[in-house]
A and B are shown apart, each in its own frame.
Chain A
Amino acid sequence: MRLLKLELHKTLTNKKNLIVLAILLVVYIVMGFSTTYYSYGGTENYNTYTSMVEEHTGTLDEAQGVVSTDAYTEAKNKYGSGEAIDHYKMADPVLKFNADYADFNTAVNDYYEGKEAGKQDIDNLIGIAPLQDKLTELQASGQENSYEYARYEKQLETEKELGAPTFENVSFWDSLFSNWSGMNVLLLLLFPIAYFIAPIFTQEVRTGMDNIVLCSKKGRKEIVTSKIITGVITAVVMSILFVAGTFIGTFAATGNMAGAGFSMRCLASFRTAQYAFTIGQFALVSVLWIVFIAIVFSMVALLISALMSNQAGAFGVSFIVLLVGMATEIFGSGLKKLLWPIVDFSFNSLGKLSSIFGGTTTYNLFGQPISYAMLGVAVATVMLSAFIIFVYAAQKKRIVR
């Protein structure tokens, strides 16, 4: 226990790093607040926006769908899409409402009809009608035992069970989840974790303490255990600060957290989710997921620290590990297909809640369809175990330099 306490003192609970933690918490709060506050264009606009949403909650009002879609299309034609329109949405709550309702309209159409021809992802069909067509087609060609059939059959069942998305006032949660974007998890959570973890082993080299550690009774195994626990605690503490800070900031901006009881499909980024979670339940799952991914990454960073002799180098390599995932985003689709394990299970991808829990991607595991989230858990668990074993092995074989 004392070893762990002292190890933690080196990594986390010393004055310097406590200050860094406090600064990070402030950053998280400020980010949570400002992205939310400004994306709605201030409190007054926010209130206008939410009252419009409240008027249109529930299943799709087709007439309103047409009105909003037309209004939004017109605005896009006028201002241009992408960042330009985002800017106008902030200033104009009516436009923002129309944009959101237009998106919702599309989501409901997608739910029934799938994407319009050409936009449909042929490897990941969505929409009840296309799914039914596909199943009929597979039946006709006698492929009822195929993986594809099993997968789409299951998806169709889930879609019917969950029903079409509804429109609700979940602005707090939408903002919170946009704060928990893959990029934020990567740069504001995992990156600082690499900073804290990098010295855990390299510090022993720098100070020459390796000389003493490695020839002491507990210097080859027990010390690794306490360093691993230190890494895990660091990851957990950082994740909690990240989640709590963004939560507080977002709440400070919206002043409410309404909507926790609605289906997670009411969230703008999770309209095609295949899970029956409420938003509240899903937020909890997301927190666990973020903590889990942070722990897995902390063990990568720890292994890197164990293999390198200098702190800056270890930090740099950990950063490169994070960059690799980001780099895959610019791969062409051919390369993406070829390198799918890296593309799908890099920290960049694992940190993206919307693709892990929001999509319909499944994998073929011995003919059985398995969801991205399930496979993600499995892959990350295997990685975690492997890294831990490697860290032990590295210290066992370590020699002084």
Chain B
Amino acid sequence: MELIISNVMKNYGKKDVLKGVSFKMDNGIYGLLGPNGAGKTTLIRILAGLIPASSGQVLYNGKKCDKEYRAKLGYLPQDLDFYPNFTGRQYLEYVANLKGLSDVEADRKIKELAEQVDLTDDMERRCVNYSGGMKRRLGIAQALLNNPEILILDEPTAGLDPYERIKFRNIISVFSKDRAVLLSTHIVSDVDSVAKKIIMIKDGKVGSMEDGRAYMQRMNGKVWECSIAPDKLMGFQKNHVISNAVPNGDMIDIRVLSNSRPHEKAVNLEPNLEDAYLYEFNYKEAMA
């Protein structure tokens, strides 16, 4: 399995949303990290064949994306609502049918997935009445119905509580063994530990695709900690990117991203992916 995205551009009128995106995917989880409006959903919709790219190509095993590709795709959109008259089961039956599963296969798969996403007892309820988290889980189940080779998830963890978030991550981890998963998010911890590669996207451009550790390594020497007086915090924030602030007695311990020592008493810390993310999106241009 190989999905090649080469120089994909997309504009809406004069607005360039994607400015030449290229990367390759094979098996494993790929985290698509980027702030609001970066173009994540736009890119994902192009990958799912829902909107045409203005230029560039998406090739699946060397071929243009067609019905065969769609048959191997699972997709969870960012905003998903349900039909007012459907139960959870009817909804999954409907999607299973669209995905070309036979009724027998569908019934088996629905039972299995309902179990996995913990909705077995709610399958006969109308899904518009589900809680936000349940709706997300139903959405994930829907995406997995056809055992997709390529699974695309647009902010799948939005609205999930921490426990459900972890459960979701586990499902995806197991699932991604021999499949490709593209997971868009602006929540770093969603992809932090599980993603094989991280793709950072900003203003319609992606940086180099690397694993999280590489990003973190490049942050070595750029993450600092120091204590400052609370009344200095606002002023300090204007000129520095602060990734964390914790009150400590009369002072505040802050975690700062900076190419150079931000404060005479600042000491270096071990970077994490969130630091890299903030550095990438908030530091580079604004502070450099």
Interface residues of B in 34-57 (CB under 8 A from A): 45, 48-52
Q: Which of B71, B90, B98 contacts A212 (CB 8 A)?
A: B98
Shortest C-beta distance, B256 to chain A (Å), equals 40
On chain A, the residues within 8 Å of B48 by CB distance are 211, 214-215
Interface residues of B in 70-111 (CB under 8 A from A): 70-71, 73, 75, 77, 79-86, 90, 93-95, 97-100, 103, 106
Q: Which of A3, A9, A217, A220 contacts B86 (CB 8 A)?
A: A9
B75 touches A211 (CB 8 A): yes
| 0/1 interface trace, chain A 222-246, chain B, CB 8 Å (1 if under) | 1100000000000000000000000
Say yes or no: is A16 at the interface (Cβ < 8 Å to chain B): yes
A47-55, A81-89, A201-209: which lies at the B interface?
A201-209
Q: Which of B51, B70, B77, B85 contacts A217 (CB 8 A)?
A: B70
Nearest-neighbor residue (CB-CB) of A222 within chain B:
B98
CA distance A9 to B49 in the complex (A): 28
Nearest-neighbor residue (CB-CB) of A13 within chain B:
B85
Say yes or no: is A284 at the interface (Cβ < 8 Å to chain B): no
On chain B, the residues within 8 Å of A210 by CB distance are 50
On chain B, the residues within 8 Å of A143 by CB distance are none
From known contacts A209-B83, A219-B70, infer whether A2 and B51 are also in contact, taking CB-CB under 8 Å: no
Shortest C-beta distance, B132 to chain A (Å), equals 15
Number of residues in B with C-beta < 8 Å to the partner? 32
A6 touches B97 (CB 8 A): yes
On chain B, the residues within 8 Å of A6 by CB distance are 86, 90, 93-94, 97
CA distance A216 to B145 in the complex (A): 11
From known contacts A212-B77, A215-B73, A215-B75, infer whether A207 and B98 are also in contact, taking CB-CB under 8 Å: no
Is chain A's binding surface mostly helix, strand, loop or mixed? Answer: helix
A212 touches B95 (CB 8 A): yes
Nearest-neighbor residue (CB-CB) of A215 within chain B:
B48
Q: Which of B67, B79, B97 contacts A2 (CB 8 A)?
A: B97
Which among A209, A219, A400 has the highest number of chain B CB atoms within 10 Å? A209
From known contacts A16-B85, A207-B80, infer whether A400 and B45 are also in contact, taking CB-CB under 8 Å: yes
A215 touches B86 (CB 8 A): no
On chain A, the residues within 8 Å of B100 by CB distance are 216-218
Interface residues of B in 1-58 (CB under 8 A from A): 45, 48-52
A400 touches B50 (CB 8 A): yes
| 0/1 interface trace, chain A 281-313, chain B, CB 8 Å (1 if under) | 000000000000000000000000000000000
On chain A, the residues within 8 Å of B75 by CB distance are 211-212, 215
A217 touches B103 (CB 8 A): no
CA distance A339 to B51 in the complex (A): 40
CA distance A214 to B73 in the complex (A): 11
Say yes or no: is A10 at the interface (Cβ < 8 Å to chain B): yes
B77 touches A211 (CB 8 A): yes
Which among B82, B86, B93, B98 has the highest number of chain A CB atoms within 10 Å? B98
On chain B, the residues within 8 Å of A217 by CB distance are 67, 70-71, 98-100, 146
Say yes or no: is A14 at the interface (Cβ < 8 Å to chain B): yes
Shortest C-beta distance, B114 to chain A (Å), equals 17
A10 touches B85 (CB 8 A): yes
A218 touches B99 (CB 8 A): yes
Q: Which of B71, B79, B98 contacts A223 (CB 8 A)?
A: B98
CA distance A14 to B85 in the complex (A): 6
A207 touches B77 (CB 8 A): no
Say yes or no: is B176 at the interface (Cβ < 8 Å to chain A): no
On chain A, the residues within 8 Å of B97 by CB distance are 2-3, 6, 218
On chain A, the residues within 8 Å of B49 by CB distance are 214-215
Which among B52, B83, B97 has the highest number of chain A CB atoms within 10 Å? B97
On chain B, the residues within 8 Å of A203 by CB distance are 83
CA distance A227 to B280 in the complex (A): 47
Nearest-neighbor residue (CB-CB) of A15 within chain B:
B85
On chain B, the residues within 8 Å of A117 by CB distance are none
On chain A, the residues within 8 Å of B90 by CB distance are 6, 9
From known contacts A2-B97, A6-B97, A216-B98, infer whether A208 and B81 are also in contact, taking CB-CB under 8 Å: yes
Shortest C-beta distance, A221 to chain B (Å), equals 9
A218 touches B81 (CB 8 A): no
On chain B, the residues within 8 Å of A218 by CB distance are 97-100
| 0/1 interface trace, chain B 223-251, chain A, CB 8 Å (1 if under) | 00000000000000000000000000000
Shortest C-beta distance, A76 to chain B (Å), equals 55
Nearest-neighbor residue (CB-CB) of B91 within chain A:
A6
Nearest-neighbor residue (CB-CB) of B99 within chain A:
A216
On chain A, the residues within 8 Å of B142 by CB distance are 212
Shortest C-beta distance, A133 to chain B (Å), equals 65
B70 touches A215 (CB 8 A): yes
Nearest-neighbor residue (CB-CB) of A216 within chain B:
B98
Which among A9, A210, A216, A219 has the highest number of chain B CB atoms within 10 Å? A216
Say yes or no: is A213 at the interface (Cβ < 8 Å to chain B): yes
Q: 3 shortest A-B CB distances, which residue pairs?
A: A211-B77, A14-B85, A207-B81
Can you add 18 more A-B contacts, CB < 8 Å, to A2-B97, A9-B86?
Answer: A3-B94, A6-B86, A9-B90, A10-B85, A16-B85, A207-B81, A209-B81, A210-B50, A212-B75, A212-B77, A213-B98, A214-B48, A214-B49, A215-B49, A216-B70, A216-B73, A216-B146, A217-B146
